[in-house]
Amino acid sequence: MGSLNIGQADSVPILDLDKVLNPTKQTKESKVEFLHELQDALFNYGFFYLKNPPFKLSKFSNIKQQSLKFFNDLPLDEKIKIHGINSKHFLGYNGLGDELTASNIDWREQVEFGTELPVPKINSSDELYKNIEGPNLWPNDLILPNFKETITDYIDELSSLARILVRLIEETLNIPIGTIESNFFKQIQQAKLKIIKYPDLENLQDEIKQISKDLNKPLNINQGVGEHRDNDLLTFIYQATNHNSLQVKDFHGNWINIPPIENTLVFAVGLTLEFITQGACISTVHRVLTPIPGEGDRLSISFFQTINIDSIKKILPIDQYIKELIKKRDSQRIQNKIGFQFQVDGNKPIGYSVFLNRIKSHPKVGAKYYPEVLKYIQEEVAKASDI
């Protein structure tokens, strides 16, 4: 595994999938090189670019086109019909200022979809976490006729890529291939897709003043999304516009810019992957800044690969030499603190902590469907703020 180097870098690695997935370019040497690069990226960064994904690049232009149509062509009253407040599964549309990170408003407008699944059967309050899966809320197909097909196709494509990356991660960590899928994936495994518009706030001063008045407090208008780590297994981010807004924290607490690179995905390690690999794969703090006034709206499309929400988080077998490298690495890095997040509980199903964090980010949904759970969450957040 590579030496600790993120502290000296002002960028993150760019990994070329052609080295392992393109039959005309892949060689034994190129695969060894890729696995070494992947190991270093997972261990020392937790964030990196993937270029030459194994699908037609028209997938990017198609998802971008349909996303822009959603935000620009769909009337507000049609968006409200699929508002997240109407979904106990945390799917659907959220308007400007509806979501919180680190207890502060995220200045973004977004819509979220998932692998299409039925309403889960809930037998007791202990199983409420199962509601993080469920059916989507789709916009009017008379207004957006190709939207659902494009979104579903993109989710399927990136779900396949996620499984490829999982197997490559197993190889680079010397874990038997298939271990993660057999232990943590269902036959139909859910993935989530979040389509996000970070508006140019230069044109929204009246709305900002009204939200500030409603909340009776000054607002941080630089937070597109606040400092956080992703909960799930892994994330693919497609930065669809040319805004330099995404940032990741290095091991010394410095921010590294992740500017858009055409036809690439940004890979982020999730907290779940960090947990099951005993910290070998590191989930790093990241954030998004609002666009500089006058730059226009930023469009970002994030794919989140989940694992079986009913599984208990087991840890995977990690070689002793890797454990020693983890220990050495962690002795040299700052443990970045962020706003309160519910951490992985190895004694409870994976879905439990994800469910709590979803309610924390969407308190209006929590108040409507899960008031007792929301009360517990607010008490835990208050306790943490007193420490």
For the cut 50, the answer to whether the pLDDT of residue 7 exceeds it is no
What is the identity of the amino acid at 188? Answer: I
State percent of the chain over pLDDT 90. Answer: 76
The count of structural domains within the chain is 1
pLDDT at position 136 is 98
Distance between CA atoms of residues 221 and 96, nearest Å: 12
Confirm whether 19 is domain-assigned. Answer: no
Residue 35 lies in a domain: no
Mean of the pLDDT values across residues 92-115? 90
The neighbour count for residue 153, using CB atoms within 10 Å, is 15
Tell me which of 143-152, 154-163, 324-333 is least confident. 324-333
For 66-80, 98-112, 254-268, 370-384, which range has the lowest pLDDT when averaged over its residues? 98-112
pLDDT over 70 at 2, yes or no: no
pLDDT in tens, 257-309: 999 999 999 999 999 999 999 999 999 999 999 999 999 999 999 999 999 99
Give me the domain span that covers residue 150: 46-386
pTM assigned to the model: 0.93
Asked whether residue 276 is assigned to any structural domain, the reply reads: yes
Determine, yes or no, domain membership for 361: yes
Q: Report the C-alpha gap between 141 and 269 in whole angstroms.
A: 34
**What is the residue-averaged pLDDT of the chain?**
92
Q: Residue 335, SS3?
A: coil
Q: What residue type is 55 in one-letter code?
A: F
- Using the predicted structure, report yes or no on whether residue 69 has a pLDDT greater than 90: yes
Residue 330 lies in a domain: yes
What stretches of 45-98 show up as alpha helix (H) in DSSP? 58-73, 76-81
Torsion angle of C-alpha atoms 306, 308, 311, 315, degrees rounded to 10:
-40
Distance (Å, whole) CA 369 – CA 180: 33
In a domain, 15, yes or no: no
- Among 88-97, 260-269, 299-308, 329-338, the least confident range: 329-338
Let me know if 321 is exposed, middle or buried by CB neighbors in 10 A (0-12, 13-18, 19+): exposed
Asked whether residue 6 carries a pLDDT value surpassing 50, the answer given is no
Residue 344 pLDDT more than 90? Answer: no
- The per-residue pLDDT for range 156-213, each reduced to its tens digit, is 999 999 999 999 999 999 999 999 999 999 989 999 999 999 999 887 888 878 887 8
For residue 257, the domain's CATH number is 2.60.120.330
- If phi > 0 it is left, if psi is from -120 to 50 it is alpha, else beta; for residue 46 that is left
360 within some domain: yes
Kindly report, residue by residue over 106-148, the tens digit of the pLDDT. Answer: 899 999 999 999 999 999 999 999 999 999 999 999 999 999 9
Q: Is residue 337 part of a domain?
A: yes
